[in-house]
């Protein structure tokens, strides 16, 4: 179980350096370019997950895995809201939505969510001892 949890942790950390958002003309952005504070929060939660993995505490690993998923979901919503806000100077709502739609999510999010889900579901196997 620890190996799968470590693999999930590695995917989360590596995923934060992969392209997460594509902004036309500017290029691809990873977590650090999106927001420094969100990137630091991701790495702190990953470090806390290491504590749970080292101490064989599946509950701690699951807890921080859920927090990472919530952080990723919050980041996705924030990216969408920020792109709409960035084009708020446009007079029509349909124009704002069209221009905000050019900001595309990239494949790095798959790696991020896969790593967090691996951390959550890897520790669910229960030890079943049978007595004779």
List the structure tokens of 41: 């929060």
Torsion of CA 58, 64, 65, 71, to 10 degrees: 170
Strand order in the sheet with 21-23: 27-29, 21-23, 104-105
- The 8-class DSSP code of residue 127 comes to P
Cβ–Cβ under 8 Å, residues 131 and 76: no
> Tell me, what's the pLDDT at 8?
92
Is the pTM value of this prediction over 0.75? yes
> Tell me, what's the pLDDT at 20?
87
Residue 130 has pLDDT above 60, yes or no: no
pLDDT in tens, 30-84: 888 888 999 999 999 999 999 999 998 889 999 999 999 999 999 999 888 887 7
**Residues in contact with 56: Cβ distance below 8 Å, sequence separation at least 6, in sequence order:** 2
């Amino acid at each position: 179980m620890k190996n799968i949890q470590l693999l999930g942790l590695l995917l989360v950390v590596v995923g934060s350096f992969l392209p997460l958002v594509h902004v036309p003309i500017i290029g691809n952005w990873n977590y650090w370019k999106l927001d420094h504070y969100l990137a630091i929060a991701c790495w702190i939660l990953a470090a806390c997950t290491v504590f749970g993995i080292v101490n064989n505490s599946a509950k701690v690993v699951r807890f921080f895995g859920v927090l990472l998923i919530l952080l990723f979901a919050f980041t996705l919503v924030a990216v969408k809201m920020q792109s709409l806000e960035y084009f708020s100077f446009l007079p029509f709502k349909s124009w704002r939505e069209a221009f905000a739609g050019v900001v595309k999510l990239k494949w790095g999010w798959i790696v991020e969510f896969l790593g967090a889900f691996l951390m959550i579901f890897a520790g669910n196997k229960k030890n079943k001892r049978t007595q004779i």
